[in-house]
A and B are shown apart, each in its own frame.
Chain A
Amino acid sequence: MDSASPTPGERWESTRRQFMKVLTFILGTVMAAVLAVPFVSSLFGPALRRKNVHWTRVGKLPVLGSGHPTKISFTDMVEDAYLRENVTRDVWIVKLPSGGLTAFSPICPHLGCHYNWDAASGHFVCPCHGSVFALDGAVLGGPTPRPLDTLPVKIENGELYIGWERFEPGISRKIRV
């Protein structure tokens, strides 16, 4: 057998083998790619998911008086992937002169204390550093850098829903934590 000039049969055999090599590589690569895409997106999916306002049903809307706020406690479910925990939260509900509702986070925007309603003066007063807020949340005095933080609130079928959020304390802008 002369190795210098391969017969057509030998040449075809080498082409056939070359073809098998290439196709083996291609099939392997395609399989790897078909798996790689789902594998990578399984990590990206939850990581890039944006949390929407999550509405918590508080219950039947209580009778609200005008001129003073009403403190409402409700159970909020905190979800972290497949973990869930029930947490009790408070909000201040104020009936607006227009007839609408405002919900205030119970956390003072100054340094995160829980403020109170002072019925005598008709103001919200923070016991920690003496920030004072009006019934509509406006700043009346003290070190607070911004008014009380409002929370999303809605009424559906006579039931109150709150979208609980927390905000960065101590700065003038209201930024979600």
Chain B
Amino acid sequence: MLTRLGKWINKRWPLSDLIRLGLEEEILGGSSYAYVFGSLLLFTFAIQAATGVWQLFYYVPTVQHAYDSVNYLRTEVPFGWLIHGLHYWGANAMVILLLCHAIRVFTWAAYKNPRELTWLAGVGLFLITLAMSFTGAPLPWDERGYWATEVGTSIAGTVPFIGNLTKQLMRGGETMGQLALSRMFVLHIAIIPGALFAMVGIHLVAFRRNGSVGPWDEAKRARKGQFWPDQLFKDTLSCTILFIILIALVVLAPPPFAGPADPLDTLYTPKPEWNFLFLYESLKFFPGKLEPVGTVGIPALGILVLVLLPFFDRKAEHSPGRRLRAMSLGALAILGLIVLTIVGYYSKPGAGQKKGETSPAASIAQTKNISMGRTLFQSQGCAGCHRVNGSGGNVGPNLSGEGMKGRSMKWLRTQLRSPKAHDPQSVMPAFSALAAQQIDQLADYLLSLKSESAPAVGGASSGATAGSSAAAANVAARVPGKAAFIIGSAEHGALLFEKNCVKCHGPRGTDHVSNPGSTDLMVPALNPIDRSLYNISPKLFATTIDLIIQHGSHPAGPHPVLHMPAFGDTQSLTQEEISDLEAYILNLNGVNRGEITHPGLQPRIFLGAVAGIFALVMVAALGMYFLRKSSGTGKKNS
């Protein structure tokens, strides 16, 4: 049977033994489609490994470029969308298949003597897969992954005694940054996959030693089947179906562009990935001091139960009908898992976790804050450098009109805490020793300063600064910001639009808000946008509107009451936020910011081709099969 080359190798290396180990197994009760989940997992794992390695041709694990590099792969590399999408959906499929596999094994009682080691390696693989899912999420450094990891590591931080250490070890510091990304990256692509490969080996060898457990019904066990080709054929057929489903998901439900990670974001709802939602939701049952019960207690107990299961449940009985206690406990656990996940999916994070500056209660306390802030402004020596309403130093900028510059609370907080974050050359001392409340009071005070003719942005200032036409000409010469090249999230952009743009541009950019004193007498509508700004190419479209969002613009006319603030120049919006807004505005005008510019083959055409090829193969195969069958039976009859 062996070819000459095979014989040659076999003399020097146990090739045929290995093939025998892989293929030869007698299956009690014959092959079954119930047994395919293990193979499906192995198959998905192979897809994950291949697509994972391939993504490394383009991906870089840096905070600056991770998001852009993934999006470059997704939109500008032929079939990059497929490679990334398969990895994304494969990861999701893996968790589901794992659950199916575990339920199958549990129902058949395949964890019992002598298959304990197979079960233990399986529990190991379960934990490793969850670890892969956890460490993979932050790698694109998008909002989704960033916040999932922020919440995930925070959960780890609640563990008593070692929690904080664990959290900081995972993050590489107190906050999430480059070191966190590097750590997750190395774990995800080197260390955990190594453990995964080893564990798969142990699992498979242990499985082969004792084979499939077979049906619990003695009568059915009498029949015998072979792994090759009976079972492997069923496995391959199932893998093919899964393969087509995965491709269909990639094409019909591509992973969203979640927008670049923005640690300062207050609008985003941070939540873990769906497969950790059960943990996240169960924490809510244990508020305050009891929290560790949810974070460590229950997961540790769950793992302990899984590990000890084969040693506790030692009766040789395999029939689920006669293992009612085990079966009902297992069903209860699965049901709990599913219910918690669904509840977690629909729940909003607890109140008080993220209080935005728009909270109505805040405005009542506002006046008090402002006066406290004024006191701080004097006591902290701010007036030594900054002039307000005619008194104070001249070292720093005049702050008399600070409330009219369109600064956000967030921007001011950062400016006060670490001025160098905005301007590395800044000589302003960092007021990092102030309490959060004091910083907010100072910021409230600064925002209340609206006097004098300090350059106004967006406010009602007649007789604006320089000549409008000169300013407008200036815009064209200025360069687009970083945001123009980032694929933002239109969904998140909608929220930002609601908060920052709706007043002048109307809901969904459709309203015609009047702007007395301008030639058009109206604020330009964004939906549909002026034809001279529109472009069918998302990149060019984004670049054009980016210039206006970054640098602002002054409408033509004698005394326009309203003018477009320079959101980028004044840093009242981050580049990440601007990219989200741009994606939203493009979306309003029917242009997809995440359009695939180099698809290789259009996704839908690819899906059609794949479906066609497999349909053809199956039709040909079944045709041959029935042809042989009829000719075979014909012979038998004669």
Contact = CB atoms under 8 A, between A and B. Distances in A.
Interface in B473-489: 473, 476-477, 479, 485
Interface string A17-61: 101110110111011001101110111111000000000010110
Interface in B587-638: 598, 600, 606, 610, 613-614, 617, 621, 624-625, 628-629, 632-633, 635-636
A43 B57 contact: yes
B54 A39 contact: yes
Interface in B67-93: 68-69, 71-72, 76-80, 82-83
Given A30-B614, A60-B473, A42 B625 contact: no
B229 interface: yes
A57 B477 CA distance: 8
Given A38-B79, A46-B76, A59-B476, A19 B57 contact: no
Contacts of A82: 65, 68-69, 71-72
A86 B479 contact: yes
A28 B236 contact: yes
A153 to B, nearest CB: 17
Max chain A Cβ within 10 angstroms of own Cβ: one of B229, B610, B613: B229
Is the interface on chain A under 10, 10 to 19, 20 to 34, or 35 or more residues?
35 or more
Contacts of A34: 243, 610, 613
B134 to A, nearest CB: 26
A17 B79 contact: no
A24 B236 contact: yes
B229 A20 contact: yes
Nearest to B55: A42
A27 B600 CA distance: 23
Contacts of A64: none
Max chain B Cβ within 10 angstroms of own Cβ: one of A11, A26, A35, A42: A42
B533 interface: no
Given A27-B617, A34-B610, A83-B65, A39 B233 contact: no
A17 B229 contact: yes
A8 B78 contact: no
Nearest to A58: B477
Contacts of B613: 30, 34
Nearest to A18: B229
B237 interface: yes
A57 to B, nearest CB: 8
Contacts of A57: 476
B233 A11 contact: no
Contacts of A15: 628, 632
A38 B236 contact: no
A42 B83 contact: yes
Does more than half of chain A's interface fall in helix, strand or loop, or is it mixed?
A: helix
Nearest to A22: B621
Given A38-B82, A82-B65, A19 B625 contact: yes
Contacts of A24: 229, 232-233, 236
Nearest to A74: B477
Contact of A45 (B82, B229, B600, B633): B600
Contacts of A86: 479
A35 B637 CA distance: 45
A19 B230 CA distance: 10
A151 to B, nearest CB: 19
Given A15-B628, A19-B625, A24-B233, A81 B72 contact: yes
Interface in A42-100: 42-46, 57, 59-60, 75, 77, 81-84, 86
Contacts of B54: 39, 42
B230 to A, nearest CB: 7
B576 to A, nearest CB: 16
Contacts of B232: 24
Interface of A: 8-9, 11-12, 15, 17, 19-21, 23-24, 26-28, 30-31, 34-35, 37-39, 41-46, 57, 59-60, 75, 77, 81-84, 86, 159
Given A39-B50, A81-B72, 18 more contacts: A8-B635, A8-B636, A12-B633, A19-B625, A21-B228, A21-B229, A21-B233, A26-B621, A38-B82, A38-B600, A41-B78, A42-B80, A42-B600, A43-B57, A44-B78, A59-B477, A81-B58, A86-B479
Closest 7 pairs between A and B when the two form their complex, measured CB to CB? A38-B79, A45-B78, A82-B72, A20-B233, A8-B636, A82-B68, A59-B477
21 contacts: A9-B636, A11-B632, A12-B629, A23-B236, A24-B236, A27-B236, A27-B240, A27-B617, A30-B614, A30-B617, A34-B243, A37-B79, A38-B82, A39-B83, A42-B80, A45-B600, A46-B78, A57-B476, A59-B476, A60-B473, A77-B479
